[in-house]
Amino acid sequence: MLPALMQTVQRAFSTRPGVKIESREFSGFPDEAIITADIKEEIIPHSGIPTLALMKRRANVDFSPIISPSGRELYEWYLAAKQRTIDAKFDFFVDFHIYRRYAISMELIIYTIREQARVLELCKNLLHDGREQGHMEYRTNVRFMDQIAGKLDCNGFTFKKFTERLKDMLEPNGVLSPGKSGIWNAGVSLQQSAKI
């Protein structure tokens, strides 16, 4: 698959003057698993070569709303998220997974520990914008799961009531993954959940 993708990239850029594309393949060693330490650190992150080099000094969080696959809505989300990210002084890395009835946009925010307060504020703003635009998140950091579950207010929080009832029936003590995906046992208030 990778050689075919490389040919596609080469073909797409072959008509552009001054563009030179170089690639390197690391296929590992016979009968051994590929180990990150065996792969040279790349100068440019997200080069397609698996490496944990960025994670040595940085952490990451992603923001992944589910959006209608219309070009207009995707573009509106893209422009708003890009501006929010730039205003917060972070690099804007985004990817889209397009399906027949929806698209998932995935923004990866890479930050240092010193930037944690700023990245949390950015995520809070992106969540707010997503709610205003009518988007639900595909996945999120544990820190924001309750906030996102609070967006599921259709029919008087029917989904929340259903998941609480199911969790109470299957796991009444609430020990396994309490609050994961915003799903708590019935009777656990948000104040109690914040302490857990």
pLDDT at 136 exceeding the cut of 80: yes
Residue 111, domain member (yes or no): yes
> pLDDT tens digits for 90-131?
999 999 999 999 999 999 898 888 899 999 999 999 999 988
| C-alpha dihedral sign at 150, 154, 83, 78 | positive
The Cα-based distances of 138 to 24, 25, 34 in angstroms read 33, 32, 30
Structure confidence at residue 76 as a pLDDT band (50, 70, 90): very high
pTM above 0.75, yes or no: no
Write down the residue that tokens 């009531």 correspond to. Answer: 161
Residue 50, domain member (yes or no): no
The Cα-based distances of 137 to 42, 51, 86, 161 in angstroms read 31, 27, 21, 20
Domain that residue 17 falls in: 1-44
Check residue 163 and give left, alpha or beta (phi > 0: left; psi -120 to 50: alpha): alpha
Residue 131, domain member (yes or no): yes
> Structural domain tally of the chain?
3
